[in-house]
Chain A
Amino acid sequence: MAEDPRLILLLALADDELVIGHRHSEWTGWAPYIEEDLAFSSIAQDEMAHARLLYEIASELTGEDPDALALGRKPPEYRNAVLCERPNGDWGFTVARQYLYDSADEGRLAALAGSSFKDLADAVRTIQLEERYHLEHGRLWFRRLAEGPVQAREHLADGLSQALPEAMALFETLPGEEALLDDGVITRSSEDLLGEWLERVGLDLESVSLDWVLTEHAAQVGELVPTSSGALEEESTPTLAVPGIERREGRWVHVGEFAGAGGRQGRHTEDFTPLWEEMTGLYRQVPGASW
């Protein structure tokens, strides 16, 4: 039974929002100060609400309860990009990920606003009006840390180095993407969106002289994630360049494969299982509970 590609798309979008929303909510009570506590709690609330709305649309396709879609699936059935499931780490990683995720989200939402799938297009046009505040928050902190004292800059650079390869995989090609393009459900391919996003991020990084994170990758990619073929490298060799990024004619472009792919196919990192266990714990114990 081939899955409806629209369902795959909706789940990829909803799972991203649910899982990153869950991570953002982990700052509640722990953020460096009260305004950021509120900010991440509020962003989490928005992201989870967006996920819920997308699950509701998906439930129209499957006839399943939206809660069952959100919380009743097994880990390999989740289609979020692995970037979303990574633990919050320090403030530098948190800011780097939020900036990268929300700038990527901006691009894909802009393309989905013109979808031929009316329920999705309607939802997206409302979601866009809320996401701008998230992106603004991410950009503000990106700039604050980048222009801050050396230590802040270092934390941000480390966070960017760690998050960038996996942020690219937000644009991993979806199973069934061709059919979605043919039907106008999506208006741009993931590859096109990736190219445009990379160019925007490249300009942002250049504007604060942090574009070196695109070529001098510090994180141990081999140790962290499966390659896009799904196989883990035997020996983790720290790479110097972010896989899949090159500079050509003054622009940052995507070439070849990238690290961190697999999420859209349901392949996740070791960080996903504990998150899934906590997120779905109540639902698994008492399916249908209301709270």
Chain B
Amino acid sequence: MKTDMGVLEGRVREALAAVPDPEIPACSIVDLGMVERVDATTDHIDVDLLPTFIGCPAKDIIGEEVKKAVRTVAEEREVRVRFVYDPPWTTDRITERGKEALRSFGISPHWETEGPVAIPLLTGSGVACPYCGSADTVTESAFGPTPCRSVHFCRSCRNPFEGFKAKQPSGG
């Protein structure tokens, strides 16, 4: 009785879609664009992940959670999970569903906003507020509670909010 490898890879991807980023539980690692490669053979399943930020402290947890999730569909195969850096993870990898999940969690996927990707501090940044949608916001710091998040304030609805830091090649 053999499982078709294409079918198995599909199951692995389904299992991965249920693994959240522990620091952004609303968003799965698939929607964050962290899954670079899934390779299933008769005796092993390889998963290559791209870390969003190199110093992300959730990396080890994510690696463990991915292993656990893949094992549920691995049927005795060895599960190997690696973090790789080619290609570099960029914010372009986040899916539309991922962006919606970020907004619902109070994090603006702000590189979508017109204007420079860089973060000018305490000036009108035009970053869209995830709560009310207003662009009348300021960036308070490029450095937030995790390496991947920045801190903003909305002058319309008076809410502080976070942004997912843009990670794009220069000039992007």
Q: Which of A48, A118, A140 contacts B55 (CB 8 A)?
A: A48
Q: Is the Cβ of A46 less than 8 Å from the Cβ of B85? A: no
A129 to B167, CA, bound (A): 6
CA distance A229 to B100 in the complex (A): 59
B141 near A38: Cβ-Cβ < 8 Å: yes
Interface pair B55/A126, CB less than 8 Å apart: no
Partner of A137, one of B56, B90, B142, B145: B142
Given contacts A38-B144, A42-B143, A133-B143, contact A122 B86 (CB under 8 A): yes
Shortest C-beta distance, A214 to chain B (Å), equals 27
Q: Mark B38-80, 1 if CB is under 8 A from A, else 0.
A: 0000000000000001111100000000000000000000000
CB-CB contacts below 8 Å: A1-48 with B:
35, 38-39, 41-43, 45-46, 48
- Does A223 count as interface, using CB distance less than 8 angstroms? no
B121 at the interface (CB under 8 A from A): yes
Nearest chain A CB to B156 CB, angstrom units: 22
A-B contacts counted at CB < 8 A amount to 73
Query: Which of B55, B87, B143, B170 is the one whose CB lies under 8 Å from A38?
Result: B143
Number of interface residues of A (CB under 8 A): 27
Tell me the complex Cα distance, A46–B147, Å: 7
Distance of B145 from chain A, by nearest CB (Å): 8
Which residues from B are CB-within-8-Å of A35? 140-141, 143, 151
In angstroms, Cα B68 to Cα A254, docked, is: 56
Asked if B143 and A50 sit within 8 Å, CB to CB, the answer is no
Chain B's nearest CB lies how many Å from the CB of A134?
Answer: 9
Ordered by A's residue number, 25 sampled pairs between the chains whose C-beta atoms are within 8 Å are: A35-B143, A38-B143, A38-B151, A39-B141, A42-B147, A45-B55, A45-B147, A49-B53, A49-B55, A50-B54, A118-B86, A122-B84, A122-B86, A122-B88, A125-B86, A126-B88, A129-B169, A130-B53, A130-B167, A132-B170, A133-B119, A133-B142, A133-B165, A136-B118, A136-B142
